Amino acid sequence: MKVYKTNEIKNIALLGSKGSGKTTLAEAMLLECGVIKRRGTVEAGTTVCDYFPVEKEYGSSVFSTVLYAEFNGKKLNVIDCPGADDFVGNAITALNVTDTGVIVINGQYGVEVGTQNIFRTATSLNKPIIFALNQLDGEKADYENLIEQMREIFGSRITPIQYPITTGPSFNSIIDVLIMKKLTWGPDGGTPKVEDIPADQLDRAQELHRALVEAAAENDESLMEKFFESEHLSEDELRLGIRKGLIDRSIYPVFCVSAAKDMGVRRMMEFLGNVVPFVDDMPAPVNTAGEEVKPDANGPLSIYMFKTTIEPHIGEVSYFKVMSGTLKAGDDLDNVTRGSKERFAQIYCVCGQIKTPVDQLCAGDIGATVKLKDSRTGNTLNARGLEWEYDFIKFPAPKYQRAVRPVTESDAEKLNSILTRMHEEDPTWVVEQSKELKQTILSGQGEFHLRTLKWRVENNDKLPIIFEEPKIPYRETITKAARADYRHKKQSGGAGQFGEVHLIIEPYTEGMPAPDTFRFGNQEFKMSVRDTQELPLAWGGKLVVCNCIVGGAIDARFIPAIIKGLMDRMEQGPLTGSYARDVRVCIYDGKMHPVDSNEISFRLAGRNAFSEAFRNANPKVLEPVYDVDVMVPSDVMGDVMSDLQGRRAIIMGMSSENGFEKISAKVPLKEMASYSTALSSITGGRSSFTMQFASYELVPGDVQEKLLKEYAEKTKDEE
């Protein structure tokens, strides 16, 4: 295979909502480039992209697939990304390592929420965008309405390169206003018949051609001058202007295709090969030190690992982008992220399962290798002595959680190993061993996302697992001051145990004055603070301990033991066993024995005195509340609102955004357990949401009563 130079390489991400036809389009592109001789279908499970067992099982893409094609003397690296929102991490990764995004839109359904989400990500990364309107041969396809909707959502930069003469089942011809020709396909698609534009389409074609010429000319002063002089640009000048417009994101070209019938695909490929930016046309990425890393084949060698998969009969396959320099088979590199060394014994260009060995890959190219010892997704590998590192891929926060455990407890270690490996394949699968909840918590982008992981563990690794609703990380606190004392006394022959602690607890708020006087009934307690310790808690909030002991009632050497006893109860609150927070404790009196007093005695006395006082301090349970933003079509907004209110949500606001309604609410985490599934059901998969931790808030009285009852029954059973 030819070694392609940096200025001959184009990297493209194939994006779009589920069902838009990306995989079918990728198959048609590979056919047009001669990579395959016959197109496979998603339904038959024979496409180049969807080759993993789980993808064949579900009939849709689960992983991004790296493809390459040689076309008109150029190399096109294409990453076909899953369309489901649950697998958005693949699209985010692809956009970060490619230079242009092709967003495929289903001509029958129009712009969907997932399409908008991808567009926003591309915008945040300043990536050029091309739109491919697919399935224009569908019954419900309406080109005019679709273009109008796109302009409403994406703005005036929408610039048609083509338009269909008719849509629906009779779709078989388009007018291309870049080359000013009519293209017509036979029933089997493929190579079109190229004709002059018919008279009844000429006015519209010329109008759109002028709009295209003007949009292209705006990106170059010399082109603008020529446009003002003649209102005409040559085809080469048009291409130059469009390329600059793509880089500046001042133009979003729109193409018309029917991927299933291979209509319009080759023409779009010609545009990708001739017009879209090369790797070295784009702004250079920046490393963690803030330095630009230009894609220079003669520069220092540096590569970034962006994807890892475990493939049948091969094992671990690592995908990388050459950021700088030229990688040769047999090169030894330092993994600066993990402090290890790797040998790239063999390097490949990849087209789905097909891996073609190559001798070298230049800066900007994408390739793969196998059986690396210690390199993972997100790692940087450099030539010896080079300290560059990259950290430019930012994944969205998880939206769906489940506790996971093996059916057989003895398989726990094996499951942890599998989950660690799967996180490396898809970093949006997040695994946490929760000490607080005593569960393994698996987080992802949605129910389908986690169900896919479960299928793979059970079918590929043959390990049955159970998903459960995760426990909620409640917090406990108090709302008033309370006093208690406790004497721990134990005699069992010889030295015994004795410790007595008197304390007062109260709610703690940042910046509150030192304690002075407390009154309980007719008794008044004056505090003389000798020492204050503020203990920040790992789970949020503080425990503040004031030593107010006078007269040596308790020796200072026992205070740390008392604090350990307090922390015992802060770590396992008296109400529900959850973490407690924001409590100030004043230790003001006690007793000790010259022989029997020891640390364990005062630890137990402090723990029990705190428990009693806590229960008398009008304790409350706090629950985590999240800020939730939901993007919904207007026709289902009422149903979504009703569902949120049934989840104890507080609606904070509503607004319109690019043709969709945005609902902002505060919702308890307890009510979000299966929200992604419910939202998909209510809206037919046309909505999306984000959630982010906001604060801990008091639970309603009836909820607290239920939690206390459940905990009492649980502890009774354990006793």
The topology (CATH level 3) of 6-201+249-281 is Rossmann fold (3.40.50)
Tokens of 361: 């890959």
Tell me the average pLDDT across 247-257: 95
Cβ atoms within 10 Å of 684's Cβ, excluding its own: 9
Nearest to residue 14, comparing CAs of 4, 5, 24?
Answer: 24
| DSSP helix/strand/coil, 342 | strand
β-strands 347-351, 354-358: how paired? Answer: antiparallel
Tokens of 39: 């197109």
- Dihedral angle of Cα 14, 16, 17, 22, to the nearest 10 degrees: -40
pTM above 0.75, yes or no: yes
**Contact indicator for 263, 172 with CB cutoff of 8 Å:** yes
| DSSP helix/strand/coil, 241 | helix
Tell me the average pLDDT across 464-491: 94
Name the DSSP class of 277.
P
How many angstroms separate the CA atoms of 256 and 163, rounded?
Answer: 7
Render pLDDT for 546-584 as a digit per residue (tens, 0 to 9): 999 988 899 999 999 999 999 999 999 989 999 999 999
Instruction: Provide the pLDDT for residue 147.
Output: 96
Is the pLDDT confidence value at 299 over 60?
yes
Is the pLDDT confidence value at 253 over 60?
yes
Cβ atoms within 10 Å of 463's Cβ, excluding its own: 15
Render pLDDT for 389-429 as a digit per residue (tens, 0 to 9): 999 899 988 889 999 999 999 999 999 999 998 998 889 99
Render pLDDT for 96-110 as a digit per residue (tens, 0 to 9): 999 999 999 999 999
Is the pLDDT confidence value at 114 over 90?
no
Is the pLDDT confidence value at 719 over 60?
no
How many angstroms separate the CA atoms of 332 and 295, rounded?
Answer: 20
Do 400-471 and 622-702 show the same overall fold? yes
Name the DSSP class of 127.
-
Domain locations along the chain: 6-201+249-281, 302-382, 400-471, 476-618, 622-702
Compute the mean pLDDT over every residue in the chain, rounded to the nearest whole number.
92
Q: Which CATH architecture has domain 302-382?
A: Beta Barrel (2.40)
Distance of CA 40 to the CA centre of its chain: 30
Instruction: Provide the pLDDT for residue 122.
Output: 93
**Contact indicator for 15, 103 with CB cutoff of 8 Å:** yes
308-317, 492-501, 592-601 — most confident range = 592-601
β-strands 620-632, 688-698: how paired? Answer: antiparallel
For residue 34, report the phi and psi dihedrals to the nearest 5 degrees. Answer: 80, 10
- Residue 315: band (very low, low, confident or very high) from pLDDT cuts 50, 70, 90: confident
Cβ atoms within 10 Å of 462's Cβ, excluding its own: 7
Portion of the chain with pLDDT greater than 90, in percent: 74
Instruction: Provide the pLDDT for residue 232.
Output: 73
**Contact indicator for 72, 273 with CB cutoff of 8 Å:** yes
Cβ atoms within 10 Å of 514's Cβ, excluding its own: 11
The topology (CATH level 3) of 476-618 is Ribosomal Protein S5; domain 2 (3.30.230)
Instruction: Provide the pLDDT for residue 329.
Output: 95
Superfamily for the 400-471 domain? Elongation Factor G (Translational Gtpase), domain 3 (3.30.70.870)
Angle at 157 (CA atoms; ends 84, 217), nearest 5 degrees:
135
Instruction: Outline where 71-142 has alpha helix (H).
Output: 88-97, 113-124
Cβ atoms within 10 Å of 370's Cβ, excluding its own: 16
How many angstroms separate the CA atoms of 183 and 649, rounded?
Answer: 54
Is the pLDDT confidence value at 321 over 60?
yes
Is the pLDDT confidence value at 360 over 90?
yes
Render pLDDT for 678-700 as a digit per residue (tens, 0 to 9): 998 898 877 888 899 999 999 99
- CB within 8 Å of 315: residues ≥ 6 apart: 370, 371
DSSP per position, 400-445: EEEEEEESSGGGHHHHHHHHHHHHHH-TTSEEEEETTTTEEEEEES
Render pLDDT for 216-242 as a digit per residue (tens, 0 to 9): 888 777 777 776 666 677 778 888 889
Instruction: Outline where 618-694 has alpha helix (H).
Output: 637-645, 675-683
Instruction: Provide the pLDDT for residue 665.
Output: 96
**Cα distances (angstroms) measured from residue 487 to each of 128, 494, 593:** 73, 19, 11
Q: What is the largest CA-CA distance in the chain?
A: 113
DSSP per position, 674-692: THHHHHHHHHTT--EEEEE
CATH 2.40.37.10 fits 622-702, yes or no: no
Nearest to residue 39, comparing CAs of 53, 51, 25?
Answer: 25
Instruction: Provide the pLDDT for residue 697.
Output: 94
Tokens of 532: 């204050």
Instruction: Provide the pLDDT for residue 227.
Output: 66
Tokens of 633: 């079509």
**Contact indicator for 136, 258 with CB cutoff of 8 Å:** yes
Render pLDDT for 167-221 as a digit per residue (tens, 0 to 9): 999 999 999 999 999 999 998 888 999 999 999 999 999 999 989 988 888 877 7
Instruction: Provide the pLDDT for residue 217.
Output: 86
